[in-house]
Amino acid sequence: MSGYKITEFAKPNCGPCAMTASRMDKLGMEYTQINLPADPPALERVKALGYFQAPVVLVEDAEGNVVDHWSGFRPNKIDATAKLVGAAPARTATGPTTHVEAAPAAQMPGPDAPRL
């Protein structure tokens, strides 16, 4: 992945989050997916960037400098990032490795939980 770190900050049952992850998988991008409701420090980081809706995608270089970030399903930004990091389209049905940090089911918010 040429030294870049991509993080998708997502929420459960979020259509744009799932579409973003699916597109990154199809493009062979390696990324970490963080469950915002289960990770209060991550939620604060997203809010500090000025975002209040998921998903938020953060791209950092090898030194941890922010290269790009955006909110929502943005195919044009995902495609540009795939080119930047030199991702190759996935050749398997399962796609590249994706690390998902999820809360136990008992901690998952219900449909009436407050939004970001």
What are the sequence ranges of the domains in the chain?
5-104
3-class SS of residue 68: strand
CATH number of 5-104: 3.40.30.10
What is the distance between the alpha carbons of residues 25 and 36, in angstroms, rounded to a whole number? 20
pTM for the whole thing?
Answer: 0.75
| 114 pLDDT above the threshold of 80 | no
Adjacent-strand bridge partners of 8: 33, 57
Q: Which tokens belong to 25?
A: 């998988």
pLDDT tens, 41-96?
A: 999 999 999 999 999 999 999 999 999 999 999 999 999 999 999 887 765 445 45
